[in-house]
Amino acid sequence: MEKTGADALPLTVNSTEKQETICIFGTGDFGKSLGFKMLQCGYSVVFGSRNPQMSSLLPRGAEVLNYSEAASKSDIIILAMHREHYDCLTELVDPLNGKILVDVSNNRKINQYPESNAEYLAQLVPGAHVVKAFNTISAWALQSGTLDASRQVFVCGNDSKAKHRVMDVARTLGLTPLDQGSLVAANEIENYPLQLFPMWRLPFYLSSVLCVFFFVYCVIREVIYPYVNEKTDTTFRLAISIPNRVFPITALVLLALVYLPGVLAAILQLYRGTKYRRFPNWLDRWMLCRKQLGLVALGFAFLHVIYTLVIPIRYYVRWRLRNGTVTQALANRDNPFSTSTAWLNDSYLALGILGFFLFLLLGITSLPSVSNTVNWREFRFVQSKLGYLTLVLCTAHTLMYGGKRFLSPGILRWSLPSAYILALIIPCTVLVMKLILIMPCIDRTLMHIRQGWERSSQHSKSAMNGKSDI
C-alpha cells in the first residue's frame, strides 16, 4: 500500500476551478488510501495527525498539520480513525463547530456498542454535522481501483445539506452514494460490512448438510457393507467414486431447492386466494437466496463433470475392463452388443451434457454484465423456463442412469437403496407439483391472483389485516 501511496500524483485538474480542500484526520491505512484517491480526483488534501512530523509515506501533494490547524482548512473533515480514539476530539469542539464530520468507522462485532459510532460522535461534538459514509469501501479497493463489487457507499446524516456534500464527494471519487436517511440508519450501515456473506449462509449450510449426509450414506453402503459382508477393502472409493456420487446428488437436490420455493409460493397464493399477504419469513428468506443456491449447485455440477472426465484413466476402471475381457476370453463366453443398453447409456450421458449446458447458461445470465443486457422478461424466461428445463434434464439424466436397475431389490444393502434414488425424491416432487400447477384450470386461477384478483371479500379483509401486521 505504501508503495502506491508514494507514487501518488494528483491528476491534472481544471486550473480555472478552485480546488476544494478536504481534511482527513488520521494517517493510517484508510486515511492514506482515501487521501490518495482524493488527490487523484482533483481535491486538495490536508491530513490532521497527532504527530505531523512523524507521519511518513503520505501521498505526494498532501499537507500534514496538527488536528486543529488541519480542521481550520476545510468544512469537510473525514475521521479516518477508530471509534476508541474519538475521545481526543472533545478538545477540538471549538474548531469543529459547524463542520461536516464524516464517520467512516467500522466495529469488530455486530452491535458492539449500545449506540452507533456516528451517533456517539454526534454526542461528543454536538456542534458538528455528522455524516456516516465510506465504511463499506476498503482501503485496498480505493487504492487498487477494483471497485466493481463495492462501489456503493451508504450515506446517512441528520443535516441534509451536509449529507449531499458528502454524496457529491463520493460521486467525484467514482463511487455510488445511496442515501439511507437520518443518522438512525448508521447502526445498520455499520453492521453491514460485518455480516459475512448473509445471502450465502443458507446455501452453504444446506450444501454442507447434504454433502455430509450423502457421504456418510455412501460410505455405509459402499465401504462398510462390503467390508462386513465380504471382508473386501473398498476404501479407495473414498477418493473418486463416492465424491462423484455426493457432488452430483448435492447439485441436483440444490437445483430442485431453487425451484421448490416458487412452487410453495404458488400453492400458498392459491390456498389464500390472494397475493396481498406476506409469505412466511422462512419462505421469503428462501426465495431471496435462490440465486446463491443455484450458483452453489452449479459449482457442484462442475465438480461432477470434472470427476466424470477422469473415469477412463482410473486404474480401477481400466483393471475391471481388462479383467472382464480376460475372464470372458478364458470362459469362452460371448458378450453380444445390446442396442437397448447402448441407447440407455448414450441417453443418460446426452441428458447430462444438455442439462449441464443449460445450467451453465443460467449461471452466465446471472452475471451482472449479462443480465444488464436483457430485459426483465427475457431474464425471467431464462431463469424460470430454462431453469425448469435444466431440472427436467438433470432429473432425467439421473433416472436414466439408474435405468433398468432402478427398482430391482438387489440394489438394497442393509435395506438402504442407492443414494441417487434418495436424491430423486425432491426433484421429482418439485416437477410433479409444477406439472399440476401448469394445468390450464389451476394456471388460470394463479394468473388471476397474480394480476390482483382476490377470491372473496373476506380474504381481502384479512389481507388488509395481514398487511397492517407487517
Ligand X SMILES: Cc1cc2nc3c(=O)[nH]c(=O)nc-3n(C[C@H](O)[C@H](O)[C@H](O)COP(=O)(O)OP(=O)(O)OC[C@H]3O[C@@H](n4cnc5c(N)ncnc54)[C@H](O)[C@@H]3O)c2cc1C
Selection from ligand HEM, ligand NDP, ligand X, none that 266 binds (CB < 5 to 8 A by kind) is: ligand X
Quick one: which of 175, 255, 296, 396 contacts ligand HEM (CB under 6 A)? 255
Query: To which residue does cell 410453495 refer?
Result: 264
Specify the 3-state DSSP secondary structure of 84: helix
The HSE-up count of residue 424 (CA atoms within 13 Å, CB side) is 18
User: Per rule CB under 6 A, is residue 266 in the interface with ligand X?
Assistant: yes
DSSP conformational letter for 412: -
User: Per rule CB under 6 A, is residue 355 in the interface with ligand HEM?
Assistant: yes
Interacting stretch for ligand X, rule CB under 6 A, among 106-114, 126-134, 146-154, 255-263? 255-263
The answer to whether 236 touches 319, Cβ cutoff 8 Å, is no
The answer to whether 192 touches 397, Cβ cutoff 8 Å, is no
Q: What is the dihedral of CA 74, 77, 81, 84, to 10 degrees?
A: 120
The answer to whether 298 touches 356, Cβ cutoff 8 Å, is no
Closest approach of ligand NDP to the CB of residue 92, in Å: 12
The answer to whether 294 touches 362, Cβ cutoff 8 Å, is yes
What does the per-residue mask of binding to ligand HEM show for 405-444, with x meaning CB under 6 A?
--------------xx--x---------------------
Q: Which C-beta is closer to ligand HEM: that of 129 or that of 245? A: 245
DSSP conformational letter for 383: I
Selection from ligand X, ligand HEM, ligand NDP, none that 165 binds (CB < 5 to 8 A by kind) is: none
User: Per rule CB under 6 A, is residue 297 in the interface with ligand X?
Assistant: yes
Quick one: which of 269, 274, 395, 418 contacts ligand X (CB under 6 A)? 269
User: Could you give the C-alpha distances from 29 to 5, 56, 112, 175, 442, in angstroms and in order?
Assistant: 10, 12, 22, 19, 60
State the cell numbers at 223: 465401504
Selection from Fe ion, ligand HEM, ligand NDP, none that 1 binds (CB < 5 to 8 A by kind) is: Fe ion
State the burial class of residue 251 (Cβ atoms within 10 Å of its Cβ: 0-12, 13-18, 19+). Answer: buried
Site for ligand X in 299-318 (CB under 6 A): none
State the cell numbers at 376: 426483465
Selection from ligand HEM, ligand NDP, ligand X, none that 155 binds (CB < 5 to 8 A by kind) is: none
Q: Any residues with CB less than 8 A from the CB of 189 and at least 6 apart, and which?
A: 116, 132, 135, 136, 154, 156, 180
Binding residues for ligand NDP, rule: CB under 6 A, are 26-31, 49-50, 55, 80-82, 85, 88, 104-106, 135, 138-139
Closest approach of ligand HEM to the CB of residue 162, in Å: 53
Q: Which C-beta is closer to ligand X: that of 413 or that of 448? A: 448
Q: Which helix (H) or strand (E) holds 79?
A: strand 76-79
Selection from Fe ion, ligand NDP, ligand HEM, none that 423 binds (CB < 5 to 8 A by kind) is: ligand HEM
Site for Fe ion in 27-66 (CB under 5 A): 29
Interface ranges with ligand HEM (CB under 6 A): 244-245, 248-249, 251-252, 255, 301, 304-305, 308, 349, 352-353, 355-356, 359, 394, 397-398, 401, 419-420, 423
Interface ranges with Fe ion (CB under 5 A): 1, 29
